[in-house]
Amino acid sequence: MKKGSAKKGSAKTPSPSRQPWSAHLLANLAVFGVVVFAYVLDRVDSDLYYRILQEDEFLEWSTFWAFMAAAGLFVWASIGQRGSGTRLPWFFWGVGLFCFLVAMEEISWGQRVLGYRPPAYFLEHNFQQELNIHNVFSTNLRRQTLKAIILGYGVLLPLVSISSGLRSNLNRVGITAPPVSLIPAFIATFFTYQIYPWQFSGELVELMLGLGFLFAALNTGSLHRGSSSRTVSFPWRSQAVACIGVIGLGVATASISRIQLGASDEIIAATRTEAEALRSDFLNMARQNRGRLVTRCGLHKRVYTYVQEYDQDHLLEGSFSSLTQKGLPEERAAFFLDPWNSPYWIRHECGSRGVRDVFVYSFGPNRRRESSETETLGDDIGAIISQLPVSPRR
């Protein structure tokens, strides 16, 4: 047999490549950097921190691109493994599919970008009223599942692979563990989620996890290339380019998503009419409740969620609902959606001497929140309800 002409199927899954220490260090610094960024920004400008962590801002889009890039790299690795004549690369396909699904779930399968209305099942059973599957399940189940993924893939699997014997068993069934050097990054991700040090820490954890999978994919992608099993190094420069590229794409996509689709004067006017109708319904509620609005300080909910949690079903038969006689689609009326198929919200903030601001609002044409805690801003469209005493939550 000639040199290099190994029989098909005789190639073995290679051991993890030995990356330069600088690459390992950069990967961990990038993940830890998300925590440092959040800490500094929250202390320096809490309002900016609040805005950056909203849906469709650059941080969420960076998370999307991190998982999408990881998905592509895992698929690339699976093709290389298959081409080397080894076993079916089910593990790479599975992890790649997982990353792709997480990326698409992160942006609700493009719902807010395209402005389409999801099926009624998701409007009713998904507390975000968006087309994503993970929010249909209970919060506790989602939290426990995410923790299991972080610890199982990012910590336990690399620890098991330290033993050459156990790593050989993993390779035999087609499993390739992420590098041991990424364990600190995954542990930091886990504890950030466990401690939840700031508001919206879950969004930070998603980006940290996306970067963790991206760096793991870069390492995995170096294990297989073409029809050979020789390792291909990804030095720190490649990891730096990947990290910067993810953040850059996040910023660019967030900017593009600000384009106001369907912002005609007619639709804007219709939205103002609908917001005023909701305001009227809440005022009627207060009058029927001896002048007291059934809400609480700090409340910030989708109107449909408010109706369900506060048992205010009569809002389903108020002025907003009656707009169906003037062309408002019945499904939008039933689930309190604006013309861009995003939920209407109610917000209640209190001052030192009682109620200061209660208002309902829509995200407006760009389908992203820009309002502050006390007023509608940007292209958000709303109606103010103020100076109302408050009845205790039932």
CB neighbourhood size of 83 (10 A): 16
What is residue 113's predicted lDDT score, i.e. its pLDDT?
Answer: 82
Residues 313, 209: one domain?
A: no
What is residue 322's predicted lDDT score, i.e. its pLDDT?
Answer: 95
Is residue 221 classed exposed, middle or buried when 0-12, 13-18 and 19+ CB atoms within 10 A define those classes?
Answer: buried
Residue range 53-103, pLDDT digits in tens: 988 899 999 999 999 999 999 999 888 776 555 567 899 999 999 999 999
* DSSP code of residue 263: -
What is residue 234's predicted lDDT score, i.e. its pLDDT?
Answer: 55
User: Which two three-digit tokens encode residue 366?
Assistant: 């760009």
Angle at which helix 201-221 crosses helix 236-256, to 10 degrees, equals: 140
What is the rounded distance in angstroms from the CA atom of residue 336 to the CA atom of residue 294? 18
Whether 2 is covered by a domain: the verdict is no
Residues 185, 283: one domain?
A: no
C-beta separation of 132 from 103 below 8 A: no
Residues spanned by the domain of 218: 21-256
Residues 180, 324: one domain?
A: no
What is residue 82's predicted lDDT score, i.e. its pLDDT?
Answer: 63
Assign 182 to helix, strand or coil: helix
Whether 380 is covered by a domain: the verdict is yes
What is the rounded distance in angstroms from the CA atom of residue 355 to the CA atom of residue 336? 24
What is the rounded distance in angstroms from the CA atom of residue 111 to the CA atom of residue 119? 11
Residues 250, 273: one domain?
A: no
Whether 10 is covered by a domain: the verdict is no
User: Which two three-digit tokens encode residue 132?
Assistant: 């994503």
Residues 100, 230: one domain?
A: yes
Model confidence, pTM: 0.80
What is the rounded distance in angstroms from the CA atom of residue 185 to the CA atom of residue 152? 13
CA 155 vs CA 148, 151, 159: distances in Å: 10, 5, 6
Please list the ranges in the chain whose pLDDT falls under 70.
1-20, 82-87, 221-235, 260-262, 351-356, 386-394
Residue at which a domain ends, from 231, 256, 281: 256
CA 69 vs CA 99, 144, 310: distances in Å: 9, 25, 42
Whether 1 is covered by a domain: the verdict is no
* DSSP code of residue 341: S
Residues 287, 322: one domain?
A: yes
Whether 8 is covered by a domain: the verdict is no
Residue range 234-274, pLDDT digits in tens: 567 788 899 999 999 999 998 887 776 667 889 999 999 99
Whether 335 is covered by a domain: the verdict is yes
Widest CA span in the chain: 94
User: Which two three-digit tokens encode residue 5?
Assistant: 């002409």
Whether 41 is covered by a domain: the verdict is yes
Phi, psi of 198 (to 5 degrees): -135, 165
Residues 47, 142: one domain?
A: yes
Count of structural domains, the chain = 2
Q: Which residues partner with 225 through β-bridges?
A: 228
Residues 55, 138: one domain?
A: yes
Query: How, if at all, do strands 345-351 and 354-362 pair?
Result: antiparallel
Residue at which a domain ends, from 256, 284, 317: 256
Residues 100, 234: one domain?
A: yes
What is the rounded distance in angstroms from the CA atom of residue 183 to the CA atom of residue 193? 15
C-beta separation of 304 from 313 below 8 A: no
What is the rounded distance in angstroms from the CA atom of residue 159 to the CA atom of residue 167? 10
Residues 308, 212: one domain?
A: no
- Encoded amino acid at 344, one letter: Y
Among 88, 56, 90, 92, smallest CA distance to 72 is for 92
Residues 72, 159: one domain?
A: yes
Whether 320 is covered by a domain: the verdict is yes
What is residue 69's predicted lDDT score, i.e. its pLDDT?
Answer: 96
Sign of CA dihedral 331, 336, 340, 341: negative
Residue at which a domain ends, from 228, 256, 284: 256
Residues 89, 200: one domain?
A: yes
What is residue 99's predicted lDDT score, i.e. its pLDDT?
Answer: 98
What is the rounded distance in angstroms from the CA atom of residue 227 to the CA atom of residue 341? 49
